[in-house]
Structure 1
Amino acid sequence: MNVRRSAAALAAVAVIGAATPALAASPSPTPSVAIPDGLYGTGDPTYDGVWRQSLALLAQDTAGVVPADRAVAWLTGQQCADGAFAAFRADPAKPCDAKLMVDTNSTAAAVQALTALGGHAAQTGKAVAWLKSVQNADGGWGYNPGGPSDANSTAVVTGALVAAGEHPEQVVKGGKSPYDALLTFALPCTGDGAGAFAYQPDKQGKLTANADATAAAVLGALGQPLNASPKNGDKKADVTASGCAAPTTPEQAARNGARYLSTALARDHHLVSALPGAENQPDYGNTADAVVALAAAGHTDEATAALRWLEANAPQWAAQSGPAAYAQLVLAAHATGTDPRAFGSTDLVRLLDATGPAPKQTATKKPQAADTSDDDGGSTTLWVTVGAVVLVVLVAAALFLARARRRQQP
């Protein structure tokens, strides 16, 4: 979900991080195209318009915000007739043609946002159908149709399938499902990067650990979307088990990947980006993605510690980077059950809202996830309700008897 590639590199090879194409870390101060009405952010949308819009809408939905109609209309207006989305279409009235570079990541992110908002079954149905039509024979997806599968693209499409009510294990090509594809990117439990995921194998077929791909693939292997909730980890509590084992199942691969992320975050509670010829720098976006993955995997302590680091250090990065960065932080807060309006001393929701058209409705407090635990909360509520009804009946009866006595008195 993270964006750390230059526009030139992205134009040549479309890349995402937990599926993020675009320039959240370095938006263009001088857009080469006019910023359309309804679009979030002021940076050049050429490489990330649909992505950042989708993340912004998804994050607002998790925070109880009802976005402006024109913000949603801008996103739906970007869809091609066959269901696919490109990173950005400057002229949505012009039909999509073979020259337009549609991609799986923009399409999958749009599916997740529009599904969360509701009322867009026609658009999401066409998008899901298109995604299925460009699935690779190994069960996965590359960034562009026909490109080799990668962990990030496969993961974000898997999340879109789940969000749309599909069962990824039943979405197969060549007898392979998305989960089968994700397993091919999982590193063994020995050697460098034990338990992590690679983005793609190199030309020699070697897998190299990639923290960004690992965060994405953990979510994908758990069958979770980008807005994974804090309760999801409870449903797969075994992923918190210690130790690394052969990644023969999606659950085991997710367990291994979460363990790798936990170890990487253990010392400083944040991940770093290593750029050639430069000193390592904190990687705020990848850290936010790792928080979501760890929370979904049930690693609450590690996720919370990293979130606290983000609270203290990431707001300035988000202010410089734009709506996708604010959205990543909102989703990280949501995954840990933290109110994004009290993100340290920062109200992330207010700042995200300010990057686009004024929302139709905004909540003052983050909506709480439904409690699906097997406690006696439901029975307690029932008895409280029954007690209240009985009390009302008794009071009414007492008042009736009192009036009756007064009528009988001479």
Structure 2
Amino acid sequence: MRLGRPPKRLIRPARTSYQVDARRGAEMPLNVILVNVWLDAERGGGTAERTRRLAVHLSRLGCRCTIVTMGPTPWGDEFGRAGVTVISVPFIGQRFPAPLVNPLALYRLFRDADIVHVMGFWFLLASFSSAIAYAAGTPLLLCPAGSLTQYGRSAAIKRVFTALAGRPMLRSAAAIIATTRQEEALLVSDFAIPADSILIAPNGIELPGEGRPGSMAIPDKRFVLFVGRLTAIKAPDLLLEAFARIAPEIVDVSLVIAGPDLGMRPQLERRTAELGLQARVHFAGFADEAQRTALLARASLLAVPSHSEVMSMVALEAGAMGVPVLLTDRCGFDEVEQIGGGRVVPVDVGAIAEGLRQMLSDDDALRQSGQALRGFVLEHYEWSRVAAALLRDFRRLAAQRHGPR
């Protein structure tokens, strides 16, 4: 469905679904709108995955869920089985896509909802949807999902966007959803958001399905795995330099770098050649869900060297499969080291190299770390738990809008 001209089904009297059915004496399901700029893993990354899982699990919990996005989604069949409606908004542009949406149609859609949940921060669809939700009087929940950090090639543009659109988005929200305590602290310190307006809702994990490598070649020997966009904030360059430092002494380990290229791959390939590591560093390209599972099933450990991250989704995936994790202290997931599931190190080549050296030197300790992380992740971060907790907050905010029943 597209939000060009208002579809006839959107032109109806306003009615909230958060009410008691007089005939059955039961709560009607919440009508939840989820907004995310992209709904595929290659462009949307972790935010697309979070929106996908949240919509499906809220639907299983009885909500009526609609996703507003731009472009196609590979998960259409899954959404159809779950009863989730996807509305695709036309757009122009790629790096800074502008939605071509009918404001009246979007207003009517949001007015009839109980909750509008906006995922992400830097895109025009997020700011436009936030303004429409505010005008419609529908509680807006904004989840920046780790995107508040102004880092990388677009830092100057992000500062302008924050001043013109970002701060108004934050002020208009009924609540802000932080993924970690670290992100909560950033919202309080840098954006002056009251702590009582912030909800904590971590990323969740689905039990891994069947892995299929497809055409992706997986090394026969041990390897360190990186999965993420090839961009400065994810820091695959730091991991490459760290791997080069340990390569001469740990000769039976390779490095696999998997993820879509956002302009950094040529630089990484040149540096790999300069280091003479072409035979031991493998560029796998974008890995879909089944391919990530296949890679994780064979990896010795997952490395997340990011300059900024909020509870890496792939770290949770690794944990669910019993794969230990090395990540930086900018990832908001220090529990990994606290429970013995891996190492947390500074964002520094030397520290990353030392973490790799220590973890790869003891296979028995690696396996024990993987099992400790698996138990912790499955106990605390399954999507059914995360969605149920969020639904309680949704109901509370919807009740505040509609008054006592």
TM-score (normalizing by structure 2): 0.25
Q: Mark the structure with the bigger radius of gyration.
A: 1
User: Which gives a bigger RCO, structure 1 or 2 (Cα 8 Å, sep 6+)?
Assistant: 1
| Structure richer in helix, relative to its length | 1
